[in-house]
């Protein structure tokens, strides 16, 4: 599904998921090819957080963004991503900024599902919205939210385009990551509820990246 083309054909301009100042936006490279990460102990959660926010400060930026389709080695910090072939390909875009930053619905939507996935390295609080444009259905996933973002949610609840419905969580909420939003588009939820992989195996990346197209149109 070509999300951008679908929106253009329907004459719909999405609202930004976050209010970002492009002049104060740092583009992060967290791929395994970034040699600067060799000097950061990614298993030291404080060191990783310090790296993110030192980069923002050094570049005089209020937020950082990036990561779609990026091959990363940083997931070795959590057994959640370990297997005979580890999961290393990032399927969404990350927006790194201060905890408490507001998150907005890009389109009219309903709540597909939500959960608090409080396992080391997982999403922590996560919300998945469902969108319908003509006969097409797709979903957007928001991970690493504040715990109170889940308050009052029910499956099927309407969320209007441009409505603030969540906030980025603190370190201990989001779950053991530097504060950021993991934002992902998912066409077919494949029966999953309150969860969908945000990282896949390299051998399966063609399948997953097709089902999770680049979400930059909403940012």
pLDDT, tens digit (0-9, with 9 covering 90-100), for 12-37: 999 999 998 877 899 999 998 999 88
Total domains, the chain? 1
Q: Quick one: 46 exposed, middle or buried, by C-beta within 10 A (0-12, 13-18, 19+)?
A: exposed
Strands 164-167 and 180-186 come out as unpaired
Q: Average pLDDT for residues 93-98, to the nearest whole number? A: 95
Find the CATH number of the domain harbouring 192. Answer: 2.70.70.10
Q: Average pLDDT for residues 1-15, to the nearest whole number? A: 93
Which of 111, 106, 135 minimizes the C-alpha distance to 189?
Answer: 111
The token duo for 46 is: 């404080």
Instruction: Look at residue 46 in the predicted model and tell me its pLDDT.
Output: 83
Model confidence band, residue 172 (pLDDT cutoffs 50, 70, 90)? confident
pLDDT, tens digit (0-9, with 9 covering 90-100), for 124-150: 999 999 999 989 999 999 999 999 999
119 pLDDT higher than 70:
yes
The pTM assigned to this predicted structure is 0.93
**Interatomic CA distance for residues 106 and 140, integer angstroms:** 9
174 pLDDT higher than 80:
no
37: three-class secondary structure by DSSP: helix
Range of the domain at 120: 3-218
Higher pLDDT, 81 or 150: 150
């Amino acid at each position: 599904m070509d999300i951008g083309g679908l929106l253009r054909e329907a004459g719909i301009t999405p609202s930004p998921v976050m209010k970002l100042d492009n002049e104060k936006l740092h583009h992060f490279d967290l791929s395994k090819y970034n040699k600067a990460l060799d000097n950061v102990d990614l298993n030291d959660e404080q060191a990783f957080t310090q790296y993110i926010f030192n980069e923002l400060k050094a570049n005089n930026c209020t937020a950082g963004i990036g990561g779609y389709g990026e091959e990363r080695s940083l997931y070795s910090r959590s057994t959640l991503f370990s297997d005979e072939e580890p999961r290393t390909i990032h399927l969404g875009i990350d927006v790194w900024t201060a905890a408490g930053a507001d998150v907005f619905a890009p389109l009219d939507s309903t709540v597909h599902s939500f959960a608090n996935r409080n396992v080391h390295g997982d999403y922590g609080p996560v919300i998945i919205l469902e969108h319908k444009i003509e006969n097409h259905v797709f979903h957007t996933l928001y991970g690493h939210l504040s715990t109170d973002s889940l308050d009052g949610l029910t499956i099927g609840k309407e969320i209007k385009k441009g409505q603030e419905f969540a906030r980025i969580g603190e370190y201990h909420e989001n779950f053991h990551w530097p504060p950021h939003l993991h934002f992902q588009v998912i066409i077919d939820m494949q029966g999953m509820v309150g969860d969908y992989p945000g990282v896949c195996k390299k051998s399966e990346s063609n399948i997953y990246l097709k089902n999770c197209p680049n979400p930059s149109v909403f940012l």
